[in-house]
Amino acid sequence: MYSVEELQKIVSEAVALRSKQLLDKKPVELYRPIHYSLEMGGKRLRPVLVLLAYNLFDEEIEKAVPAALAIEVFHNFTLLHDDIMDKADVRRNRPTVHVKFSENHAILSGDAMAFEAYKYLLESSARRLPEAMKLFTDTAIEVCEGQQYDMDFENRPDVKEEEYLNMIRLKTAVLLACSLKSGAILADSPKAAADQLYEFGINLGLAFQLQDDLLDTFGDQETFGKKIGGDILANKKTLLLINALEHANPEQRALLMEWIGKEDFIPEQKIQAVTQIYREIGVKEMAERKVDDYFNRAIRILGELELEDVVKQPLRGLAEKMLTRKN
């Protein structure tokens, strides 16, 4: 079995090689933003999950590297377009692609990234590649559905917790689940095992996104890699805001609605005021309990997977690391 660190090294080297090759392609203005996006780094969690899942059933992980690349390029494409829609100016402590280049460059280069992802996946010679392609395509559509729900929620004051959880399942969790199931499919795993890994990924992804919401409000900007309080400034319907509106007393709710409705404000003041209301209501603790609940479900599913514990340990270790992160 490969360690997570070994797989991260394999992924990083593969991404760096492909990213460098993009600079030789023309028109340069199309490929340079893609190179910049991939060179910004990141945790490379999704491609590592592809390789970890593959390695559960097959030692020849180099056969799964194209699929891992496909997942990573697609993920970065979604971030590139998300940053445009969210008007974010910092990603991984660097200017976002649309700030570094232009919005038009970012849109077109993002489109190209989506198709590059398919090209990488097609490099696989696995027997069940069509099955993996269908999963990848279905997942890509679900991610877009999740983003649309996220946009719809911006103009709705009545978003419910279950709606929000469904949105982050689509926008975030399904790609983690797809990464795991793709690796298993390409390694020709039993169908039941691939399905279990998918459900493990869904629950891990939900916990991961809720943890991300917590870090956006209560994290440290230096380690988080993007500005703290972005969700508050954008009035994002996160679980924190949804629970705050549901559990606030009349005075707290009125103050929250006042900040949500303000168009002219000092960003730091809004972040500080809303965060203080969150602390008073206790929504941080509510979200933390939800994170624990989904994480425990994920670990339970992994435990039921009919493989030796020593084989599953790298995957469990990465899951634990994901949920104790500070960035």
Q: What is the CATH number of the domain that holds 261?
A: 1.10.600.10
Owning domain of residue 118: 4-323
Q: Which residue has the higher pLDDT, 63 or 90?
A: 63
Which residues make beta-bridge pairs with 95? 90
Burial class (CB in 10 A: 0-12, 13-18, 19+), 172: buried
The tally of domains found in the chain comes to 1
SS3 95: strand
- Give the separation between CA 82 and CA 230, rounded to whole angstroms: 13
Q: What is the pTM of this model?
A: 0.91
| Cis upstream peptide for 27 (omega within 30°) | yes
CB 144, CB 108: distance < 8 Å: no
Cα dist from 129 to 1, 126, 202, whole Å: 23, 5, 22
**Among the listed residues 25, 20, 54, the one whose alpha carbon sits nearest the alpha carbon of residue 39:** 20
Inter-residue contact 301 to 199 (CB < 8 Å): yes
Sign, CA dihedral 99-103-108-113, equals positive
pLDDT in tens, 269-321: 999 999 999 999 999 999 999 999 999 999 999 999 999 999 999 999 999 99
Lowest-confidence pick of 22-26, 262-266, 320-324:
320-324
d(CA 55, CA 68) in angstroms, rounded, equals 12
